[in-house]
Structure 1
Amino acid sequence: MNLPLHIQLEDVQNTPDQRCLPIDRVGIKSLRYPVLFQASATESPIRVVADFNMYVQLAHDVKGTHMSRFVELLETPDLVISPDTLSDFMQQMLALLEAQSGQLEMQFAYFMRKSAPISGVSSMMDYQVSLIANVDPEFSLTAKIAIPVTSLCPCSKKIAEYGAHNQRSLVTISVELIEQMSLPELITLVESQASSQLYGLLKRPDEKYVTEYAYDNPKFVEDLVRDVAASLNQCAAVDRYVVECENFESIHNHSAYAMLQGGRGRS
């Protein structure tokens, strides 16, 4: 009588290990996979293609982890990943991998529909998002978002008889969330502090508006990180944060850069 294949094959990775050395992280890296993602409770889930890193701690007496189970988790029927569900997802991962601690990193392009300020024409803007969920032993969630905006130089405006140089800037925030806060809320918080927002589609009246709006709101790279940080300080959902800004200067062959760390959890 032939036994089922899964009984015949020895599970080598589940055999005891004699070296008594626990491994801090073991798992899979750079897994590109389509999943349903929900940015907020008021939005419908959307399909995104994300790059996953998924790890667990391995006990000192176990030879290897079950790598295939990480992928099996992403094949869970009706799986929807969101900032609000990642805590439950991590508990499922640890239970399936028989681990006490673990980490998940999820990176993807998030598209948000925006309306032009005057004409109201609608278009999509993309933002690079990373979600880092960690259990060790408590759950923590960090959201990292790269948000392109416009900045206009206060010095140039002050000294020039007409005009002022402006450029695209990239504001990147890494925030540790302790309460529910959606990605659109975080993106809007940053964009509201820029000289002007960016839009995928603008008509002539919109171009006039955003050009003049930026001229009326000049900001150094230092102003941008400070203003974003001041707004994050008012968010009950945010514990610690890092704000970075890079201005891709239009009159120099280099970028201007600033970084500010802060938050309630910072000593």
Structure 2
Amino acid sequence: MKNAGSQNANPLLDVQNLQDHREIDLQRVGVSRVMVPMNVVQKNGNLQPVTAKATMSVGLGKAYKGTHMSRFISQLTEWSKDKHLSLDLQDFLAEAKERLKAPSAQIQLDFQYFIDKKAPVTGISAPMAYACRFDASLGATATDYDFMLGVTAPISTLCPCSKAISDYGAHNQRAEIRAEVLIDTQTPHPMIWIEDLVEALDTCASCPVFPFLKREDEKWVTERQYDNPKFVEDVMRDAIALLREFPGVKSFNLEVEALESIHGHNAWCAHQEENGARQENFVR
């Protein structure tokens, strides 16, 4: 009687490589919700360690029954140890295509990214967390490479109507700008850093949000909000105008959501554009 691990045992059947009779190509097959440590390149050239939630996939040809899940994990593990992440993931995807003998490959990475932010008056710095996303895909050739950078920036808004109708004060609240920008990967342009996009989105608010405030900082923030009232529509229009002129942005998706302080609901606005053309029927 042979042991289960005997060298003479018959090789295990590779079911994934069996032919599928339905002859249907699949666009994206892979792994999701994979937690992996990564290093992200910062604007100053340093590396920031992050914990990323990865979704990685490839196109699967109609001749194959399934893909090889372990190869995704192997590549993610190797890159987490030996490489770093930037806005150029083309080499990563080319390697995935080769490993899995696939016509296309995709990677989505969601992570918290910290930026040191100074208080407006005292200048005291503290880390501020931003939800970020890298979403890249590579097709049959190098020119079929797309990269999308996503950032959620916490901001604050003060209601113009509340200010206009009240004898004193106006309701204000935290809000979020969620921006996804598709970067032009075929035309030379300055690098778009997470830090640059966050700084630009902050200018669209009644006032930015800060991780650390002393009393003199809080006074500045309160007065800045009051002097700069904005609806979510105002924030959105400012963000649209900004991204239309942002070097290297091919298209973008935007959402603005105010976490209303006096209403039982939030105020929300959304917009998409591609090459300057407004997209209808935004689906959240």
TM-score (norm: length of structure 2) = 0.87
Equivalent in the alignment of 1:87: 90
Equivalent in the alignment of 1:140: 146
Equivalent in the alignment of 1:102: 105
What are the within-5 Å matches in structure 2 for residues 1-267 of structure 1? 8-40=11-43, 42-76=44-78, 77-84=81-88, 86-137=89-140, 138-178=144-184, 179=189, 180-264=191-275, 266=277
Alpha-carbon deviations, 1:7-56, whole Å to 9, x = none?
9444332233333222222111111111111243x231111111111111
Cα distance in 2 between the residues matched to 1:225 and 1:44: 32
State the one-letter code of the partner of 2:161. Answer: C
Cα distance in 1 between the residues matched to 2:37 and 2:235: 34
User: For the Cα contact (< 8 Å) 1:27–1:56, is it kept in 2?
Assistant: yes
Question: How big is the shift at 1:225?
Answer: 0.4
Question: Using a 3 Å threshold, how does the CA distance of structure 1 residues 4 and 22 change in structure 2: closer, same or farther?
Answer: farther
Unaligned runs of 5+ in 1: none
Point out 4+ residue stretches in structure 1 off by more than 4 angstroms.
2-5
State the one-letter code of the partner of 2:163. Answer: K
Give the alignment's Cα RMSD to 1 decimal.
1.9
Equivalent in the alignment of 2:3: none
State the one-letter code of the partner of 2:243. Answer: L
Alpha-carbon deviations, 1:146-180, whole Å to 9, x = none?
11101011111122222111110111111111153
Alpha-carbon deviations, 1:192-230, whole Å to 9, x = none?
111111111110110011111111111111000000110
State the one-letter code of the partner of 1:202. Answer: L
Cα distance in 1 between the residues matched to 2:24 and 2:103: 15
Cα distance in 1 between the residues matched to 2:97 and 2:202: 37
Cα distance in 2 between the residues matched to 1:39 and 1:98: 33
Q: SS of the residue aligned with 1:26?
A: strand
Question: How big is the shift at 1:187?
Answer: 0.7
Q: In the comparison of the two structures, how many residue pairs are matched?
A: 263
Cα distance in 2 between the residues matched to 1:17 and 1:156: 63
User: For the Cα contact (< 8 Å) 1:29–1:54, is it kept in 2?
Assistant: yes
Kindly, what percent of the aligned residue pairs are identical? Answer: 37
User: For the Cα contact (< 8 Å) 1:221–1:247, is it kept in 2?
Assistant: yes
TM-score (norm: length of structure 1) = 0.92
Q: SS of the residue aligned with 1:235?
A: coil
Q: SS of the residue aligned with 1:158?
A: helix
Unaligned runs of 5+ in 2: 1-5, 279-284
Q: SS of the residue aligned with 1:236?
A: coil
